[in-house]
Structure 1
Amino acid sequence: MADPNYLSDADRDRISAAVGEAELLSAGEIVTILAERSDGYTDVALAWSAAVALLALALLAIAPDFYLGIYDRILAGWGHEWTPRAILTLAAGVAAVKFGAMMLLQLWQPLRFWLIPPPIKTMRVHDRALRAFRIGAERRTSGRTGILIYLSMRERRAEIVADEAISSKVDPQVWGDAMNAMLVELGQSRIADGMIAAIRKVGAVLQVHVPRAADDVNELPDRLIEV
């Protein structure tokens, strides 16, 4: 669930009102989603922890006398006899400690998300937006005119996904203006204003390509969905 501190109730009302106003101009149905994050990235955290553990083992292999000497002085005392079994046990212990410590460090969310490579963030946000679109908007309108504006806060990324009747008429690059308008406001930490700017840009595009019919009805909720 998105952090309730991102938006006030007044902000949520403003976003819903902007959706309603934009939909008056066209047959499009705009769905807005604000997500706290688009993935847990457990696989990335495990990969970093495994890399740290392997690095520790590599250092132990490169300079074994140094590390075994430290162990002798701290725990075993002088004259400790290192058998192959003892060395393997130490190596396994070092790897386990490093792995666990790195996993614990990544429980701190700012570090966890800082360590995620940007392309992975972009891919996960895109995939999550597509899944959300398929559940909440795709083919849920009579004219297949649903469109999703998706904003993922932790990754600081957004997506616009359109249904068949819109995507067949509008080049994906057209949504660049809407994205840029959103990002300008988000850069100033004005989340609601960013969503509203994107809604208005999307509404203007929809008015041109899927004009409103006389018998058009509102088929999808106007309220912001927070996940």
Structure 2
Amino acid sequence: MRLQPDDSAKVAAAIRAAEARTDGEISAIVSNASDSYGDIVLQWSALAALFPLTIAAAWPPLLLKALAPLTGWEAPSVRIQLSLLTIVCVLMFVIGRFVIGRPAVRMAVTPRAIKERRVRARAIMLFRAGTEQRTLSKTGVLLYLSLAEHRAEIVADAAIHARAPQEAWGEAMAALVEAMRDGRPGDGMAAAVERIGAVLATHFPFSGTDPNELPDRLIQL
């Protein structure tokens, strides 16, 4: 999944249209991924390295049969067996590190719950760094999309959260998820921004006194 060249303009136009009806501020950020998941790669690689040890412990004769073509010996010494087993384990780790390190494989083997937590954590971090308390009336909302995980988050400032609970963003998330399923993340973000604007207009209607304090564009990381 990737953004199209005109998606930035679509989202920017949606932000401007939404903010024309509210004193709230909308920030939109899209990232290729929320984490490198290097620890997940190492964990799976370690499991791959342990696989030969498991086989050797459970079926020792099978190990001897597997090593015979390599050594030419029907019954190599214990020292030779352990040395070759160590080499096999190292090779399995290296192979696992290479294969699981591929982006598509890495995403596929990462548990869904871990991806959800890390996308949420990245969204909160970006919100605190670039949105939180940067508006005079503390009415900033961040729409964050992480492409690799196919997940999005909406994080709202304190004043908004006090009036609009998390459930208020259901329509915005539904519109984004539906477009993402069709491979149209840019259209989904624009639709989500429109619905976020509707929520903000209900609780924080445009007064003409609140300055525009956040950039009206899609930020790509």
Q: TM-score, normalised by structure 1?
A: 0.93
| Count of aligned residue pairs for this structure pair | 221
Aligned twin of 1:166: 160
Aligned twin of 2:170: 176
Distance 1:51 1:18 in 2: 47
Of residues 7, 13, 32 in structure 1, which corresponds to 2:4? 7
Of residues 115, 122, 135 in structure 2, which corresponds to 1:141? 135
Aligned residue type for 1:222:
D
Q: Does 1:35 align with 2:31?
A: yes
Mind listing any 5+ residue stretches in structure 2 that lack a counterpart? none
Aligned twin of 1:69: 65
Aligned twin of 1:207: 201
Q: What's the CA shift for 1:105?
A: 0.3
Aligned residue type for 1:169:
R
- 4+ residue stretches of structure 1 with deviation over 2 A? 78-81, 85-88
Mapping for residues 24-173 of structure 1, pairs under 5 Å: 24-72=20-68, 74-79=69-74, 81-83=76-78, 85-173=79-167
User: Alignment partner of 1:211: what SS?
Assistant: coil
Q: What's the CA shift for 1:100?
A: 0.9
Contact 2:107 2:149 in 1 (8 A): yes
Mind listing any 5+ residue stretches in structure 1 that lack a counterpart? none
Aligned residue type for 2:20:
L
Distance 2:73 2:30 in 1: 60
Aligned residue type for 1:132:
L
Query: Which range is displaced more, 55-64 or 36-45?
Result: 55-64
**CA offset digits 1:140-178 (Å, max 9, x no partner):** 111111100001111000000000110111110111111
Contact 2:41 2:101 in 1 (8 A): no
Distance 1:149 1:139 in 2: 16
Change (3 A) 1:216 1:79: closer
Contact 1:57 1:94 in 2 (8 A): no
Aligned residue type for 2:59:
A
Distance 1:217 1:75 in 2: 74
Question: What value does the CA root-mean-square deviation take over the aligned residues?
Answer: 1.4
Distance 1:11 1:90 in 2: 55
Aligned residue type for 1:91:
L
Contact 1:37 1:152 in 2 (8 A): yes
Aligned residue type for 2:70:
L
Contact 1:37 1:154 in 2 (8 A): yes
Q: What's the CA shift for 1:80?
A: 5.0
Contact 1:37 1:155 in 2 (8 A): yes
